[in-house]
Amino acid sequence: MSIVIINNLGQYNHRISRTLKYLDIENSLISNQTSLEDIEAMNPSGIILGGGPSIEQIGSCREIILNMDVPILGICLGHQIIAEAFGGKTTSADIESYAQIELNILKQEGIFEGVGDSLKVWASHKDEVVELPDEFEILANSSYCDVEAIKHKSKPIYGIQFHPEVQHTPRGGEIFTNFNNICEDY
């Protein structure tokens, strides 16, 4: 079994796949137009929803989030799709930013297991989650955004506003390793 990465047409989706390969994590990068049935037939151990330019071009992502019983990690747009699928709200950020920022880790668990109280990350703040779904809790915030990382309260579903796959997130590999461990234990 491997992790399936849903390509939402973002510039870093191929980088996610390469980073997982560097970490010896088996993965497949597939189109966001792939049907839920075809993804289920792949029997993935987990799903990563990659970033992209527009929430209007997300293909089968909502259906995947609401129907797959595997760990899910949403990155950037994937994070926003998760929030909206469960009834949250996203909007354009007050301050658009594409830079390395300092993340405040509020809960060192799950994908943040063992990373400490803060983490330097590369974040893209054009759109952001502004209303959290009831079933979710905030795992991290920053001075730029109140909702940098979320987790479903009872399911292994995570969303992060930042990009762990780029070199400007020096410890991003730990996020992916932690996610892979969650997938293997599920």
Candidate list 84, 148, 165, 174, residue with the active-site label: 165
**Residue 145 among the catalytic residues:** no
The yes-or-no answer on residue 163 being catalytic is yes
Residue among 79, 125, 163, 174 flagged as catalytic: 163
Measured CA to CA in angstroms, residue 27 lies from 24, 58, 61 at distances of 9, 20, 17
State the catalytic residue, choosing from 61, 76, 145, 183. Answer: 76
Q: Within 10 A of 24 (CB to CB), how many other CB atoms are there?
A: 8
Which residues are annotated as catalytic?
76, 163, 165
